[in-house]
Structure 1
Amino acid sequence: MAFRTLQASACMLLLISVCLHFMTGIRTATSREKCECVEETGSVHWRKIIDYTIIQKHPLCNKVQIILQLSGQQACLNPDSKQGKKLQKCWKRIKFNTQKRKVCLMLRKKNGPKSV
């Protein structure tokens, strides 16, 4: 009879430890996967941008995030600003190719080169 209570206690302990393992695993995943951009800027001078990352909406962050790498720091760009829309449009145009993303940072003249 003592063996049955010992066996039941071991099963209960195993069940509790499995439940705790999954509960703490979910809690750590949600705390890591929140929005990275808290404050956003309207624009940054194009020449100061070294690189950028665009993070699309996901279940834990319901907004598009544009993270700019500046010399020695990071900044978040407002995706609804003129500059943010240009970067997103170029990102879609290059079909999300990370090797070509530097193309989106090149300055282009509106009228092209002037002919003499």
Structure 2
Amino acid sequence: MAFKTLQTSFCLLLLISIGLHFITGKRTAAMSIREKCECVEETGSVQWKKIKDYRIIQKDPLCNKVQIILQLSEKQVCLNADSKQGKKLQKCWKRIKLNPQRKKVCLQLKKNRPKKTKKTKKL
């Protein structure tokens, strides 16, 4: 009788310890995940005419920020998504409905249009 009680207690203790191991193990693993962003350093702006191509990577579980990677003629540069140029590029990207075939539209420079003059009303 004492052996069965001891065996039952041991099984219960084993189940509890295994359960605690998995609970604390998952929590530790979740906290130890580091951000794996491609962009480490970001620039505020780049001349539009130097940009050959770009990629916009949305937030995901591994990187908690929007990343804009610009392809220049000889290198790649990361653009700050919160900068004025970064916001314009993201807005255009959404406007073309994330269509990679139309993304060159976002790189075209706006031609300087003559400013409209205000007409004054004559009395």
Output the TM-score relative to the length of structure 2. Answer: 0.63
Q: Distance in 2 between matches of 1:113 and 1:89?
A: 24
1:114 positional shift: 7.2
Residue 38 of structure 1 corresponds to which residue in structure 2?
40
**Structure 1 residue ranges without an equivalent (≥5):** 1-29
1:113 positional shift: 5.4
1:77 positional shift: 0.1
1:36 positional shift: 0.2
Q: Distance in 1 between matches of 2:115 and 2:64?
A: 44
- Taking the TM superposition and a 5 Å limit, the aligned residue runs for 1:45-84 are 45-84=47-86
CA offsets 1:28-64 (integer angstroms, 9 cap, x no match): xx78x82000000000000000000000000000000
Q: Distance in 2 between matches of 1:53 and 1:95?
A: 14
**For the pair shown, which has the larger CA radius of gyration, 1 or 2?**
2
Number of paired residues?
84
Deviates more, 1:68-77 or 1:101-110: 101-110
Q: Distance in 2 between matches of 1:62 and 1:89?
A: 19
What is the SS of the residue equivalent to 1:51? Answer: strand
Residue 22 of structure 1 corresponds to which residue in structure 2?
none
Residue 3 of structure 2 corresponds to which residue in structure 1?
none
Ranges of 4+ aligned residues in structure 1 off by more than 6 Å: none
Q: Distance in 2 between matches of 1:113 and 1:91?
A: 27
Q: Distance in 1 between matches of 2:115 and 2:65?
A: 40
Q: Quote the RMSD (CA, aligned, Å).
A: 2.2
Percent identical: 76
What is the SS of the residue equivalent to 2:91? Answer: helix
Write the letter of the residue equivalent to 1:43: S
